Amino acid sequence: MSLIQGATGEWEIVLGLEIHAQITSQSKLMSGASTKFGAEPNSQVSLVDAAMPGMLPVVNEFCYEQAVLTGLGLNAEINLVSIFDRKNYFYPDLPQGYQISQFTDPIVGPGVVKIELPDGSFHDVGIERLHLEQDAGKSIHDLYPSQSCVDLNRSGVALMEIVSDPDMRTAEHAKLYVSKIRTILRYLGTCDGNMEQGSLRADVNVSVRRPGAELGTRCEIKNMNSIRNIGMAIEYEARRQVDIIEDGGTIAQETRLWDVAKGETRSMRSKEEAHDYRYFPDPDLLPVVLEQSWVDAIKARIPELPDAKHGRLMRQYGLNSYDANILIADPENADYFEIVAKGVDAKLAVNWVTGDLFGMLNKRGFTIETSPIKAEALGELVGLITDKTISNKIAKQVFEFMLETGDAPTKIVEEKGLKQVTDTGAIEKAVDEVIAANPDKVEQVKQKPKMAGWFVGQVMQATGGKANPQAVSDLIKAKLGLED
């Protein structure tokens, strides 16, 4: 399943990921400048971020807390002593001439993340480390024909680099892993996970080998900011490597880019040009020494994480794993569902949330937070179905009216007279009329009992869809002498 077929036999893909996640914080890692997205270029740059001579960095304690919280959420070890290093390289968007990062002693050590595969089985992905570092600025080459510009707003923004072990074997694994990391960070509130804005981006290391053989030479695909593209880039890159090896060539270790338009990876820089970063401890920053009690206090703040929520939703509401997975993808989804499900049929509630509601949100360009139908209102609607005031079918009409008018479902049902008719006298009258009007069908249904559904449809139509379908069906069967 996880192997790819080449001309000379099967190959195994080996994948390791480095995820850069922007920490949710008001100010930068080493300065007080704002991190707000979308500001005027160079309007959020302190003297530290611009690397003016003599400026001294000061560690943002909140960013440190966020990194520790993330490490705990990834079931990882927290290192009580961590050290900031300078990673030296020259680039126009890096005014310091080095990035402050952590090399020998990162804040977070080994951990593990569990992904659930489509067949319901689980796969563990090891986390090697998580370190804190500064983001660089941004070079802009397409604003003027003969000039390049630099925007330093992003310079110095706090990043967590999460490095996985080479534990993934398929593009699907990598996609699930990124999605799981993103979900965990969003639950923790340590990164907003907005991939379009670049808050979360991944470098993907791809190599191929014969099953069970030594690791092959890897290529790194840089700066992927869409889960879908990650999947496509891996499949393209693995196939490219297999073809080269099978043609007698060797893989050159290099950094590659994914070209979205062409659907291919292409070389960015080879190992010969690779940087020697000459890391050394930043002399402006002391080692960070944490107290265990400080870490424990952060641990006490961890909210219910996706895996735990998944299990609880299944136990508490009797949901299947598939539905639970849809709900936990976003903490807001699960919160919304739990409000809807209060005191109503939970299976009905999950169908309404993941079906009608999500469909409407998608179609109209809303998110769960901006939904025009609030959880309490949808809960009221599902309650009306649960207690048989209206049928599921009428509820779909009420849902539309709710969207149109913003009125409460109970009010709509009252005003429009949509209450389900459970009064057997009224239903019986309608049933008798349909039977009397269709003697030929009555003959047919006695041969083919499945045709009873046609009578139910007629009666439902005659009652404007308000009759209780089960009551109608029972009455028709009784009147026509059909077995159940």
Report the interface residues with Mn ion, using CB under 5 A: 161
Question: In a 3-state reduction of DSSP, which class is residue 99?
Answer: strand
Sorted by sequence, the CB contacts under 8 Å of residue 194 that are 6+ apart come out as 200
> In angstroms, rounded to a whole number, what is the distance separating the alpha carbons of residues 330 and 333?
5
- Of residues 71 and 379, the one with the C-beta less far from Mn ion: 71
Q: Is 473 helix (H, G, I), strand (E, B) or coil?
A: helix
The residues with which 115 forms a beta bridge, in sequence order, are 123
Least Å distance, CB 57 to Mn ion, is 17
8 A C-beta contact, residue 204 and residue 224: yes
| CA–CA dist 91, 82 (Å, integer) | 26
For residue 231, which of 6, 20, 7, 17 has the smallest C-alpha distance?
Answer: 17
In whole angstroms, how close is the CB of 339 to Mn ion at the nearest point? 40
- Which CB atom, from 269 or from 301, has the smaller least distance to Mn ion? 269
User: Least Å distance between CB 131 and Mn ion?
Assistant: 8
Backbone φ and ψ of 197, nearest 5°: -85, 0
- Please report how close the Cβ of residue 161 comes to Mn ion at its closest, in angstroms: 4
Q: Which is nearer to Mn ion, 161 or 345 (CB)?
A: 161
Q: Is 148 helix (H, G, I), strand (E, B) or coil?
A: strand
Q: Which one, of 434, 479, 428, lies nearest residue 455 by Cα?
A: 434
Nearest Cα to Cα of residue 106 among 160, 58, 63, 66: 160
Give me the residue whose beta carbon is nearest to Mn ion.
161
Q: Which residue, 76 or 100, is less far from Mn ion as judged by CB?
A: 100
CB-nearer residue toward Mn ion: 97 or 211: 97
Instruction: Specify the residue, 161 or 307, whose C-beta has the smaller distance to Mn ion.
Output: 161
Q: Are strands 85-88 and 147-151 parallel, antiparallel or unpaired?
A: unpaired
Closest contact distance (angstroms) between CB of 133 and Mn ion is 5
Residues whose CB is less than 8 angstroms from the CB of residue 457 and which lie 6 or more positions away in sequence, other chains included: none
State the Cα–Cα distance between residues 216 and 204, nearest whole angstrom: 15
Give the other-Cβ count within 10 Å of 192's Cβ.
17
CB of 402 to Mn ion, least distance (A): 48
Residue found under tokens 């891996």: 234
DSSP assignment letter at 353: I
Cα torsion at 365, 370, 374, 375 (round to 10°)? 90
**Min separation Cβ 85 and Mn ion, Å:** 12
> Least separation, in Å, of the C-beta of 259 and Mn ion?
22
Identify which of residues 164 and 463 has a Cβ nearer to Mn ion in the complex. Answer: 164
- Taking the complex as a whole, the smallest distance from the CB of residue 78 to Mn ion amounts, in Å, to 20
Residue 161 vs 335, nearer CB to Mn ion: 161
- Closest approach, Cβ 363 to Mn ion, in A, equals 39
Structure tokens at 388: 């048989």
Rounded CA gap, 318 and 299, in Å? 30
Q: How far is the CB of 20 from Mn ion (least distance, A)?
A: 6
Identify the CA nearest to 332 among candidates 360, 307, 369: 369
Residue whose CB is less far from Mn ion, 130 or 412:
130
Phi and psi (nearest 5°) for 101?
-140, -170
Q: With beta carbons less than 8 A apart as the criterion, state whether 366 and 327 touch.
A: no
Pairing of strands 111-116, 9-22: unpaired
Nearer to Mn ion, 19 or 176 (CB): 19
Name the residue nearer to Mn ion (CB basis): 161 or 407: 161
